[in-house]
């Protein structure tokens, strides 16, 4: 299950992505939804979260369905910190046979030589 901290961070990244895709500055989007630019900055950085009213206003201003702001698949695939990727890989590796591990080790060793 996702933590509250991770939820706020991921949500903020999605708001920022859709804002940038729409060609809006933080100042302009904040104006459109009736909040201070500093408040929008805190939302986009994951330091604070939105009320249902602000969520609705963001969706209207960005012309996006709310579900899109909570679809984090692309974030998990592309924006995981290095340590989180290593942990995710380790969990996958735990399930492999010795033969499979030896193969993977060979691949990684080859990559490291480059």
Q: Is a pLDDT exceeding 90 seen at residue 88?
A: no
Confidence of residue 78 (pLDDT cuts 50, 70, 90): low
Of the CA atoms within 13 Å of residue 76, those in its CB half-sphere come to: 9
Comparing 28-37, 42-51, 81-90, 97-106, which segment has the lowest mean pLDDT? 81-90
Q: Is a pLDDT exceeding 70 seen at residue 114?
A: no
Comparing 48-57, 75-84, 105-114, which segment has the lowest mean pLDDT? 75-84
- Confirm if 77 and 36 have CB atoms less than 8 A apart: no
Confidence of residue 21 (pLDDT cuts 50, 70, 90): very high
Give me the mean pLDDT over the 42-51 stretch: 97
């Amino acid at each position: 299950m996702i933590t509250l901290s991770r939820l706020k961070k991921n949500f903020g990244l999605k708001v920022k992505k859709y804002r940038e895709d729409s060609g809006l500055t933080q100042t302009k989007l904040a104006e459109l939804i009736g909040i201070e630019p500093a408040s929008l900055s805190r939302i986009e950085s994951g330091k604070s979260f939105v009320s249902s009213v602000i969520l609705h206003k963001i969706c209207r201003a960005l012309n996006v369905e709310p579900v899109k702001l909570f679809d984090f698949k692309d974030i998990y695939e592309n924006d995981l910190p290095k340590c989180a990727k290593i942990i995710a890989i380790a969990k996958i590796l735990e399930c492999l046979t010795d033969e499979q591990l030896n193969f993977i080790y060979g691949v990684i060793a080859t990559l490291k030589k480059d």
